[in-house]
Structure 1
């Protein structure tokens, strides 16, 4: 004699709408987390226009000069007289220094800072420009 089951077994279903909601939440979380990890250690400057090849992925030391002639080496504010010491302390093995000078920065300050970096051991000075496009 066969007995009937009192309950039918139902196949499980995966609801797609809640899964999409969770995926959008994770996407927004990762997006906000990655934006908060951006390094903003340079002075706000307006770069001059020009065309050049892109920089390789390993970023050298950055020397920033804004329009009021404030100088930062590697994200730390320094006086013009201390640029050489700061560059010497923070210089990498490749001995390259990126010079990011504002378009309105005083030419004399930019030149003196570049000469101080060169005297401190910088082998190559790379000038940052805004890509025309």
Structure 2
């Protein structure tokens, strides 16, 4: 039903209408813009490490939910938070366990083996059996 701006019922009065199609166009544009901006904002925040080269490296299509990094000095980080092996175990135990829970460890090529094993033991203490190590292919 059209909205009448003035009283009376004259045949030549203009009727005020709200055009919905341009509003829908604007809303779709805003939705698409926000989606593109939100996709560009997703980053993996972690410490920069020099990964060792492995000839058997295989590209992983999906990102594991838990990513631990060990730098050349043996400092363990979860995303950007510095942790000890016991804190890693405590934080992993706080996560609800699933069959798909996995951990990827990115250790610098200069990291001592003892520190890598401490992190691996911390992950195993949290009852997570899917552990992998991040490496880079020889041509990278």
Q: Shorter-chain TM-score category? A: 0.5 to 0.7
User: How big is the alpha-carbon RMSD for the aligned residues of Structure 1 and Structure 2?
Assistant: 2.6
Tell me how many residue pairs correspond in the alignment.
104
- TM-aligned CA distance change 1:59 to 1:107, over 3 Å: same
Residue of structure 1 equivalent to 2:118: 112
TM-score, structure 2 as length reference: 0.62
TM-score, structure 1 as length reference: 0.65
CA displacement, residues 15-37 of structure 1 (integer Å, 9 cap, x when unaligned): xxxxxxxxxxxxxx9xxx57961
Q: Would you say the 8 A contact 1:95–1:121 is kept in 2?
A: no
Residue of structure 2 equivalent to 1:41: 45
Supply the distance in 1 between the matched residues of 2:97 and 2:136 (Cα, whole angstroms): 25
- TM-aligned CA distance change 1:36 to 1:131, over 3 Å: same
Structure 1 unaligned blocks of 5 or more: 1-28
Higher fraction of strand: 1
CA displacement, residues 81-112 of structure 1 (integer Å, 9 cap, x when unaligned): 32211222246631210011111112111101
Residue of structure 2 equivalent to 1:78: 83
Q: Secondary structure of 2:87's match?
A: helix
Structure 2 unaligned blocks of 5 or more: 1-32
Q: Secondary structure of 1:129's match?
A: coil
Cα distance, 1:68 vs structure 2: 1.5
